[in-house]
Amino acid sequence: MSNSEQARPVVIVTGGSRGIGAAVCRLAAARGFDVVVNYRTEAEAARRVVESCRQAGARAVAIAGDMAVEADIVALFDKAEAELGKVSHVVNNAGITGKSSRLADCPADVIRTAIDVNVTGAILVAREAARRLSTKRGGKGGSIVNISSVAAEIGSPNEYVWYAASKGAIDSLTLGLSKELAPDGIRVNGVAPGMVMTDIHERSTEDGGRIERIRPNIPMQRIGEPVEIAEAVVFLMSDGASYASGAKLKVSGGR
């Protein structure tokens, strides 16, 4: 691989085939990153994101993998490096909510699955990123951006407190890892979206009406767009945020 091919930084975006993840992939490509689009099952959606990234001038690949499975996480990084070279940035975005309900009515398997992806999986992704990016281990340095949620602060009562709890864990991960990895040339930050116009809301409720129920509680009285979250993520990966680590940027319409 020539030096010219390695001129652009390489970012892995977990859960990159739709919603916020897809918006991050597209914006990162437009801002000078080569992009690895991770997905679990939605191959066609991932292919479309890859095509958009390539149209923006980036090298881009789609790599399947379940971010709750350690072997898939390691394979994702191995394949990314084989395709695009050393990884320099990771967006820890893959996450699920499960169906909205009160905690007393939530099945244990829904809770376990959310924790497996949102907490254990995210920690394992961060661990692999630390191993690959660390300048002390032969990496290029770079940054990790963890996708949290405003739910970690408001608790999401009557909706999914288990999801809110999982995102509280992400906030702790961001804080602790930012201090641990600073000497390794790695910045670690978080972005906490509020209500954003993605299909996660339709998937998590029976009636699909969650967006309109929440809208009155948002001071800006509107729903965010995925690209507005992507702007925060790409900023935290950029040289413009070179002295930022351990930060959590809320992008929630004032909520």
- CA–CA separation, 13 and 3 (whole Å): 23
pLDDT at 222: 87
3-state secondary structure of 5: coil
Is residue 53 within a helix (H) or strand (E), and if so which, with residue range? Answer: helix 43-55
Strand partners of residue 196? 224
- CA–CA separation, 178 and 189 (whole Å): 7
pLDDT at 2: 41
Q: Determine the average pLDDT of the residues in 54-58.
A: 97
Q: Tell me how far the alpha carbon of residue 158 is from its chain's centroid.
A: 25
Task: Reply yes or no on whether the pLDDT at 1 is more than 90.
Answer: no
Q: List, by residue number, the catalytic residues.
A: 163
49 CB burial (10 A radius; 0-12, 13-18, 19+): buried
Q: Which two tokens stand for residue 166?
A: 């999982």
Q: Which two tokens stand for residue 40?
A: 């679990």
Ordered by start, the domain boundaries in the chain are 10-251
Q: Which two tokens stand for residue 215?
A: 């809208």
133 CB burial (10 A radius; 0-12, 13-18, 19+): buried
Architecture of the domain whose range is 10-251: 3-Layer(aba) Sandwich (3.40)
Reported as a single tens digit per residue, the pLDDT across 120-161 is 999 999 999 999 999 999 999 999 999 999 999 999 999 999
3-state secondary structure of 207: coil
Strand partners of residue 190? 146, 248
207 CB burial (10 A radius; 0-12, 13-18, 19+): exposed
Q: Which range among 1-10, 71-80, 108-117, 229-238 shows the weakest confidence by mean pLDDT?
A: 1-10
Q: What is the pTM of this model?
A: 0.92
What residue has token string 């002390």?
136
- CA–CA separation, 134 and 139 (whole Å): 5
